[in-house]
Structure 1
């Protein structure tokens, strides 16, 4: 059994894979800095034409998993049940275009918590009625460059509406920067999840501190 889900895990949620590191650092080095800086969760999302597969992906997953264990921060895998189970992940995150979330819930059988991406009220309502989902990821809130297949921007108002509909804690995603971060607590989200804001930060400590300060309870 991994860590039990807690909404505070969503405060400063870092998502990354090798494709998101744009300089000569390794993803392990970036993650270690982010963990030192105080991120509340990490999701390993290896997606894109340059990303790792097979044994290389599993090996890296295990290494990143071990780093998260050292810092007692939950390790979440994006959309790969097999990898999540093989790395002893704490959670798995599923998108609307991925395998059906009900199938994933059955496969992980209570061993991992499950997060689901929802960007419409209809999707949130279905999630509300689905036993076994712990949290919802909603966005993109702002225009984003990290995901080539990103959905239309929902904006801060759209995000606030989804939070109102949701019975589950919501984490915001998409185009979040240190400048627009302060617009998000008023929506009622539990925190923010980011890729490039941390992966391409010129000062990871400052960035993560800003994320945690915005949602200091």
Structure 2
């Protein structure tokens, strides 16, 4: 049984894979180590996109990152891959609308891990409210984003607030969040922010994570 889900795990939620490391002098492990030391509250391993790891290399990386998260008592979440989540004994799994059906994922992982779902419309949130076994919703993209090639159009803070109002589950904001605009998110009543490049490409990860933790 992995770490139980608690709402506060969504405050400073870091998502990354090797494709998000743009500094040739840094590895994903080094970035995650800094982020864990700075106080991130959750980490999702999302290995997707051009140049990302596959096969054994991906599993090996996932196991290393899992170990690092465990040593800091930070939940390790796998993006949309039940097999990898089971292999790494992940705490959670995150599913998108375009991925394997979330009800199927919930059935497959049972009580062994918590499940998060991406939603960007009120109808999707209403469907999530009716789905037993979900722990949280990732909603967005709030702002235009460069990290995901297949990202949907940005919904803005007002759009985000509408989704939070409909949701019966805690909501973490995703998409295009920066140190400059993260301050606008609490007025949408979200529980926290999930970010890729804001941490992966930060020049000062301590400052970036501190900013997230003071915002939520």
| TM tier relative to shorter chain | over 0.9
Deviation at 1:49, TM superposition (A): 2.1
Any idea what the Cα deviations from partners look like across 1:19-50, whole Å, max 9, x if unmatched? Answer: 00001211000000000000000000000121
Any idea what the Cα deviations from partners look like across 1:70-124, whole Å, max 9, x if unmatched? Answer: 1000000000000000001000000000000000000001101000000000000
> Which residue number corresponds to residue 201 of structure 1?
202
CA distance in 1: counterparts of 2:177 and 2:54, whole angstroms: 28
* Ranges of 4+ aligned residues in structure 1 off by more than 4 Å: none
Residue ranges of structure 2 left out of the alignment (5+ in a row): none
For 1:20-31, list aligned pairs within 5 A.
20-24=20-24, 25-31=26-32
Deviation at 1:186, TM superposition (A): 1.0
The answer on 1:16 being equivalent to 2:22 is no
Aligned residues: 215
> Which residue number corresponds to residue 48 of structure 1?
49
CA distance in 1: counterparts of 2:60 and 2:182, whole angstroms: 34
> Which residue number corresponds to residue 33 of structure 2?
32
Structure 1 length-normalised TM: 0.99
> Which residue number corresponds to residue 159 of structure 1?
160
> Which residue number corresponds to residue 2 of structure 1?
2
Q: Over the residues paired in the alignment, what is the CA RMSD in angstroms?
A: 0.4
The secondary structure found in structure 1 opposite 2:60 is helix
CA distance in 1: counterparts of 2:210 and 2:131, whole angstroms: 34
The secondary structure found in structure 2 opposite 1:184 is helix
Structure 2 length-normalised TM: 0.99
